[in-house]
Amino acid sequence: AAWLASRAAILPPNRLAASRADIRRRFPVAFECDDRWAAGLGAQPDVDDDGEWRVELAPAQTAVRLFTSGSTGTPRMIPKSVGNLLDEARTLRAGFDWPAAPVAATVPAQHLYGLTFSLLLPWVLGVPWVDATPLYPQDIADLVAASGAGTLISVPVQYRALLQERPGFGHLHCVSAAAVLDADTARRWRRQQGRDILEIYGSTETGVVGHRRQLEDSAWHAFDPVDLSVSGDGLLQVDSPFVSDAWNGSFCSADRVELLDARRFRLFGRADSIVKIGGKRVSLAAIEHTLAACEGVTDAAVLAVANDGLVRDKVIWAAIAVEDRARFPLAALRRRLRSELDGIEVPKRLLLLDRLPRTASGKLPREALERLFRDPEQARV
């Protein structure tokens, strides 16, 4: 309705009152679609008219104003045009063999991943989307069964949790984004479900950039309209019709990559995930992947924290989610970390948690991670 009225929809980064108040201060908001408004939709009279109607929208029209996840700082507002969004959805439609069945998602549509894959993609595919975003594994399994979904849109931490439930998802086309799917989860999913998870790489600024099924090829493959290059700092430069018009179709990401050829690349993580400790370069992402691959660990996140030591100017703190805190094999974890990581990479502080405070889109804001270590109630080991 907003697009037909030549208006942009503003999608808040979260449901916090402070975030909504900030949007009201920054933009002349004409109407707010809140919970009270949504509750009244079911009371609207049925429309008996059949047939089809054609929607005509200007590609350059600003369609939405989204916010980044804020995982590395304050969420930033990113405008997207109608052309950005629909070109992306049509490219996804053409790129894969999608089931002719409903699309279910565990990610909200307020962020670009959820908006593109759980709403716009079903729209251009001509299939229904499931109007629910379950969080817990059993709820996800129940929703898939009840809806007859053929596609599941989710994030790595949800797929790791689903492995414990052993759902019968062998028929599902499963898509993962928002973070890199660790190799252990990819292997276990194939072994348990008999098919691979399709991974998507992209960002709010760029839209989708690449895809892979890592057990077939660990490299990422660029989508057809996307042109790639590497900046002088080794960062990925994306030229694409999906890039927000705010950057005129070209955006330099914060991710370090190696181009294998014009269409394939290896992803090494964010530039800010590399820190120097005692003069040595340390990859925080690699430490997280090592932790996540340990037995009993379902999720992991690490920080590099300033230290007053003579040699180590920083130390690693880690928070891990585990299946059973009371019976978790902590000694075995420490032995494995000492055998697989350098001494400066082994976490000096470790939190055992039932789950990490990720957002609904699978992101873990740094502020939320730091807050865990300030909370005296958390179990430190």
CATH of 9-270, one of 3.20.20.100, 3.30.230.10, 3.40.50.12780, 3.10.290.10: 3.40.50.12780
Q: Which two tokens stand for residue 295?
A: 């037995």
* C-alpha distance across the termini of the chain, in Å: 53
Distance of CA 369 to the CA centre of its chain: 17
Residues 6+ apart with CB under 8 A from 324: 296
Q: Which two tokens stand for residue 189?
A: 């999913």
Q: What is the pLDDT of residue 368?
A: 87
Residue with tokens 């072994």: 191
Residue 164 near residue 157, CB atoms below 8 Å:
no
Residues of each domain in the chain carrying CATH 3.40.50.12780? 9-270
Residues of each domain in the chain carrying CATH 3.30.300.30? 278-374
Closest CA to 153 of 135, 132, 139, 174: 174
Residue 217 near residue 211, CB atoms below 8 Å:
no
Topology classification of domain 278-374:
GMP Synthetase; Chain A, domain 3 (3.30.300)
d(CA 264, CA 258): 9
Give me the tens of pLDDT residue by residue for the chain, a chain 381 residues long. Answer: 788 888 899 999 887 888 889 999 998 888 888 777 777 766 555 655 556 667 788 899 999 999 887 665 677 899 999 999 999 999 999 999 999 999 999 999 999 999 999 999 999 999 999 999 998 999 999 999 999 999 999 999 899 889 988 899 999 999 999 888 988 899 999 999 999 999 999 999 999 999 999 999 999 999 999 999 999 888 999 999 999 888 988 999 989 899 999 999 999 877 777 787 877 778 888 899 899 888 889 889 999 988 876 667 889 999 999 988 888 999 999 999 999 998 889 999 999 999 898 887 778 888 888 888 887 565 555
Residue 133 near residue 362, CB atoms below 8 Å:
no
Distance of CA 279 to the CA centre of its chain: 32
Closest CA to 176 of 204, 144, 153, 150: 153
Q: Which amino acid is at 216?
A: E
Mapped onto helix, strand or coil, the DSSP state of residue 250 is strand
Provide the sign of the torsion angle of the four alpha carbons 234, 287, 370, 137, taken in this order: positive
Residue 227 near residue 261, CB atoms below 8 Å:
no
Closest CA to 203 of 289, 112, 109: 112
d(CA 271, CA 256): 6
Own/partner pairs, 35-40, CB within 8 angstroms, 24+ separation = none
Residue 197 near residue 175, CB atoms below 8 Å:
yes
